[in-house]
Structure 1
Amino acid sequence: MSGRDLPPGIHRFDAVETGDRISTGAVEVTSDMIDAFAALTGDRFAIHMEDAAAREKGFPGRVAHGLLVLSLIDGLKNAAPAQFDAIASLGWTWRFSKPVLIGDRLNATITVAGKRAVADGARGILELDFDVVNQRGETVQAGANRLMVHR
């Protein structure tokens, strides 16, 4: 599947093909983000909150919540110069491959992996594959999102 980098703009279902890609901007994970996510969700698992606890579990320091990272990546998708004319997210399948640490800089490549038109003719569903990498080019998270978009 070849594909192209989508140019800036809002792209509808019929304007994209399998293999087309969007590259997001980047975000640096900070301790304030981790603290705010913990306060919002109540997830205060020790590896997220304390360097010592993270080191005891084999990590070099505090680890960002996996769902915080997914949320940051969804935000980057929605702020990218090229976007899909979205109606609603229909679900995620996601993997946490490597820990994300304070100071890591993340970005994602989003690839259209599949398309399915909806019977009403006004909408379609895009199957999007995400590859999330850190500043060293290591995949830290990856997965798929089903996104309903306008035709």
Structure 2
Amino acid sequence: MPNSRAWITTNPTQCVGCRTCEIVCSLSHDGACQPSLSRINTTYDPTKTLVSIAVMANVCRQCNTADCFLACEHDALTIDKKTGARVIDPKKCVGCGACFEACPWDMIVKNEEAEKYSKCDLCGGDPQCVKYCPADALTFIQLT
């Protein structure tokens, strides 16, 4: 399996928890402002003080040895030639959940209506969450 050549990093000290990344992600992929469909999610830790990190955006790490990719028995996961991102093809996904169970980071998302799974595909090299983050808390890194 070739290594991923791109990924998104998050800076929790800059994230303000506005959830713009979630809205933009679901809108660009699913045509709906529905954070539950977003491939990036914002987590909150109410036990943290203002000095500590209380908000963090989480996104697929595009693992080089991707357990989600290896777990799929239906060839629904492919590798994007441009970015190396592990991508779930919704036409091939049968909704078995093997990728979901295999991901150690809990970054696979289930669309309850479609009964299919999805994950960050780096928007083909132009991640919308990074583009529209008002706090510049997300960075797209691409190796050449």
TM-score exceeds 0.5: no
| Normalised TM-score (structure 1) | 0.25
- Larger-gyration structure (1/2): 1
Of structures 1 and 2, the one with the larger relative CO (CA 8 A, separation 6+) is 2
Q: Higher strand share goes to which structure? A: 1
